[in-house]
Structure 1
Amino acid sequence: MQKDQLLTRRRALLAGAAALAAGAAGTAGLLASTGSPDPPARSTGPAAGAAARRALKPSAYRLRPLTGDVPPRAVPPPVPVRRAPLLRMAGRGRTMLLTFDDGPDPRCTPHILDTLARYDVRATFFVCGEMADWNRDLLARMADEGHVVGNHTWSHPLLTGLSRSGVRSEMERTSDVVEEACGERPQWFRAPYGAWNRTVFQLGAELGMEPLAWTVDTGDWAAPGTRAIVDRVENGAAPGVVVLSHDAGGDRSQSVRALRSYLPWLLDSGYHLTVPRRPPA
């Protein structure tokens, strides 16, 4: 009796081992066929349908990146706390900077970008977070075409009237949007209305941004006329000059037309239009 029980148990173990071997062979065959350049012929019929229903599916869990694989936010490079904004840019020869504030605005910004692209010129756009959040495609285009995207706060407030936490929120939220749209955080900041104080300089430096003001104000925000804007740029042109214009905050069609006029004049006059570079600490 005991001998029969031992034989029965042995047969069961052998059968189980055979089943495991068959399963392993089937799995190996499936993996091998996945890597084969010539897929096996597709079978048809009820058996094929049942096999398809039993086919392995990729695990959604395996497709998720591990927490440790997500790169941490880049730490901004150290920036000195300045007591005044930069007004001019040092550079060789007749170098000038064109800057545009308050955008991006789908009504005017694309026309400005088109004109800059036509003449292969790079500019700096100080964007407001509220506008940038709704027009991330324009931010991406700016970055793709080699322009510098700077921070001009979230809602364009008078920063000298805000608390420290309020100033930080205005700056940081805008930097977040720029990073999400362009792939990197802004390295330049411009205070609305040119209103600076110690808090603004300190927080800007903490967020990795240099303060940049301007040398020539086109006054285009007041819509003085296309000719008046052109005259202010051409009369104020000089090496190191930073020109202030706007591509949002109202009807900026005069700014668009003025750029089409003074940009070729600047180039013909030997000026090199470029983007800002960090000065030595």
Structure 2
Amino acid sequence: MYIPAQSTSTRKTAIQQKKKKKRRQILALIVFIALIIPFFHYPAKAIQHFVSPLFTGSSAVLDSDHSQQITDNVPNKKPESNDSDLPTVQDPDKNNKDDDNLGNGVPTTPTHTAPPETIPEHIDTPETTPETSKTPEVKPDTTFPVETEQPAVTEPETTIPPGQGTEHEPSDKKYVALTFDDGPDTKYTPAILDILKQYNVKATFFVVGTQVEKHGSVLQRILDEGHSIGNHSYNHANLTKLSNKEIAYQIKKADDLITAVIGVKPDWIRAPYGAVNDMVKESMKDDDRSFIGWDVDTRDWAGSSVEEMRKNINENTKSNSIILMHSFGGKHIKNTVELLPYIIQDLQDKGFTLVTLDELKKNKA
């Protein structure tokens, strides 16, 4: 087949134009790649290099290139701190670590806090004074309280305060008997004995049979330290509500328990609550002992405060007085323990000699 020459020339021209166009596209691609490569390696500098001339001119860009270091490809690092420039903060728990962190293998990260404010070495604090609120009068129960297990007693503070009350003329024949009912126990009775021993004072303890059964060793200590012991019934029953036979049982049962511990029958009997009537007296007609009461009731059993009891004793005690207190029977007896050093000092300052009921009877005779 015959192809005209013009047509062949035209086709050759078209092919060459396509080749030129393709070369231009390849060249443009190479130029484009060459232009964007700096953006991947040094993006900040590349942007500045191509953009800054539009605003500041090429000379400013060159100066900036030589003065600025490229750090984009360097990993960020925190500036090293100089420990010597930081204030030293001592961990307050350095010498007293939390027990919860001991031995568990977990390190404790110390927390640095601002140093505490300076605290004066001596701070005046108000002295604690005994409660002065009026306690409503409460009559004692007619049933003897059941002793509960109580914690060991620490020896009370026995610093003797200054004497209080009106001054009395000293006399060699002014005697007072301190008496304590309802024990023995292992909390208040030993604390009272410790105070009496420290001040070399003797007293009389009226003990209950059920308490003797539990705490015979405390009863023995009462005797060993020179105090007198009295019978306060077997289980602190109100004798006026019992029959003659029941009254006799209450007294004899307590006598037997006391004698079994100390080997001696007590010389004194005190009725629980001081409750005595003609029938109670009649039931004791064949006994050579009689019931002994008191003339100063501290009302410690009712919860009287230390100040109230101290005032009561100072105002109402006279020669041959018998003061009623308790060594067991309720939480209020802690006030009796606190009161004891005060009244020992007060009564001695007024010229009284503190004795047992045996000595009081002997001196009255």
Q: Give TM-score, length-normalised by structure 1.
A: 0.64
Confirm or deny that 1:167 pairs with 2:267: no
Alignment of structure 1 residues 75-90 onto 2, 5 Å: none
Per the alignment, do residues 134 and 208 of structure 1 end up closer, same or farther by CA in structure 2, a change over 3 Å counting? farther
Partner Cα distance (2:194, 2:288) in 1: 30
Q: Which has the higher helix share?
A: 1
- Quick check: 1:128–1:153 contact (8 Å CA) kept in 2? yes
Give the corresponding residue for 1:148: 228
**Unmatched segments (≥5 aa) in structure 2:** 1-170
Q: Give the 3-state SS of the residue equivalent to 2:177 in structure 1.
A: strand
Residues 155-211 of structure 1, C-alpha deviation per residue, up to 9 Å, x if partnerless? 111111101111011101111111111120011011111111234224445344231
- Quick check: 2:179–2:324 contact (8 Å CA) kept in 1? yes
Give the corresponding residue for 1:265: 346
Alignment of structure 1 residues 223-238 onto 2, 5 Å: 223-238=303-318
Give the corresponding residue for 2:183: 103
Residues 38-88 of structure 1, C-alpha deviation per residue, up to 9 Å, x if partnerless? xxxxxxxxxxxxxxxxxxxxxxxxxxxxxxxxxxxxxxxxxxxxxxxxxxx
- Quick check: 1:187–1:208 contact (8 Å CA) kept in 2? no
Q: 2:341 is aligned with what amino acid?
A: R
Partner Cα distance (1:122, 1:108) in 2: 16
Q: 1:190 is aligned with what amino acid?
A: R
Partner Cα distance (1:276, 1:234) in 2: 20
Give the corresponding residue for 1:198: 278
Per the alignment, do residues 213 and 172 of structure 1 end up closer, same or farther by CA in structure 2, a change over 3 Å counting? same
Give the corresponding residue for 1:246: 326
Q: Give the 3-state SS of the residue equivalent to 2:202 in structure 1.
A: coil
Q: Displacement of 1:231 after TM fit? A: 1.3
Give the corresponding residue for 2:256: 176
Per the alignment, do residues 205 and 142 of structure 1 end up closer, same or farther by CA in structure 2, a change over 3 Å counting? farther
Structure with higher Rg: it is 2
Q: 2:210 is aligned with what amino acid?
A: E
Q: Give the 3-state SS of the residue equivalent to 1:211 in structure 2.
A: coil
Confirm or deny that 1:210 pairs with 2:296: no
Give the corresponding residue for 1:222: 302
Aligned length: 191
Confirm or deny that 1:157 pairs with 2:237: yes
Per the alignment, do residues 205 and 101 of structure 1 end up closer, same or farther by CA in structure 2, a change over 3 Å counting? farther
Q: Give the 3-state SS of the residue equivalent to 2:325 in structure 1.
A: strand
Q: Give the 3-state SS of the residue equivalent to 1:109 in structure 2.
A: helix
Q: 1:214 is aligned with what amino acid?
A: W
Partner Cα distance (2:242, 2:176) in 1: 33
- Quick check: 2:180–2:206 contact (8 Å CA) kept in 1? yes
Residues 67-123 of structure 1, C-alpha deviation per residue, up to 9 Å, x if partnerless? xxxxxxxxxxxxxxxxxxxxxxxx971101100111112110001111111111110
Partner Cα distance (1:189, 1:220) in 2: 21
Partner Cα distance (2:243, 2:177) in 1: 32
Residues 125-176 of structure 1, C-alpha deviation per residue, up to 9 Å, x if partnerless? 1111111111111111111111111011011111111011110111011111
- Quick check: 2:298–2:312 contact (8 Å CA) kept in 1? yes
Partner Cα distance (1:145, 1:207) in 2: 28
Give the corresponding residue for 1:29: none
Per the alignment, do residues 158 and 210 of structure 1 end up closer, same or farther by CA in structure 2, a change over 3 Å counting? same
Partner Cα distance (2:213, 2:288) in 1: 21
Give the corresponding residue for 1:42: none
Give the corresponding residue for 2:75: none
Partner Cα distance (2:271, 2:256) in 1: 17
Give the corresponding residue for 2:267: 187
Partner Cα distance (1:268, 1:180) in 2: 40
Pairwise CA RMSD: 2.0
Q: Which protein, 1 or 2, shows the higher relative CO under an 8 Å CA cutoff with sep ≥ 6?
A: 1
Give the corresponding residue for 1:139: 219
Per the alignment, do residues 205 and 256 of structure 1 end up closer, same or farther by CA in structure 2, a change over 3 Å counting? farther
Q: 114-123 vs 271-280, which deviates more?
A: 271-280
Identity among equivalent positions (%) equals: 35
Partner Cα distance (2:313, 2:213) in 1: 30
